[in-house]
Amino acid sequence: MASQFLKEFREFAVKGNVVDMAVGIIIGGAFTLIVQSLVKNVMNPLLGLLIGGVDFANFFVVLKEGDVAGPYPSLAAAQSAGAVTLDYGLFLNAVISFVIVAFAVFLLVRSINRMKREEAVAPKAPTDKACPHCFMTIPLQATKCGHCTADLPVTDASTPA
């Protein structure tokens, strides 16, 4: 009973789709770290310069004062003082990260769809031909027309491989 269960589990775990999904999740996690670093270390400083040198991570609203009264120069100072804060700057960082990840996934899916369309447009080998007597469409391997019953000449294309 247990060996059958383990056998079924092994078959499930080794299937291509499960392994592909696991690889996708691992790469997605690494990609997320890259995007978060891009947002935190590149985009936010540039946007901060445009809006006057302010860091998004320090955009917050104090909901309740901490042990030490405000104003607090940074989010870290407010949190260390025990203040309850609404950290909308961190939320903005998360939104920017999401938009970048969504855009990258869009570009990836768009590229894959283009490749699939190009494959679909690629010419396929013919599977039928026209009868030289009645001009009806017949299978490529046919030696007699099913419409006019004429005998057809045997060609290399009509002989089965």
158: nearest Cα among 123, 129, 134, 125: 129
pLDDT score, position 16: 63
pLDDT score, position 61: 92
Q: Which residue has the tokens 């100072």?
A: 77
32: its two tokens: 């997320």
pLDDT score, position 122: 66
**Domain 2-122: homologous superfamily in CATH:** Large-conductance mechanosensitive channel, MscL; domain 1 (1.10.1200.120)
Listed by start position, the domains of the chain span 2-122, 125-161
Quote the pTM value: 0.52
Query: Can you list the residues of the chain whose pLDDT is less than 70?
Result: 16, 53-55, 122, 155-161
pLDDT score, position 21: 82
35: its two tokens: 């995007």
β-pair type (128-130, 137-139): antiparallel
pLDDT score, position 86: 93
pLDDT score, position 85: 92
Q: Which residue has the tokens 């901060």?
A: 48
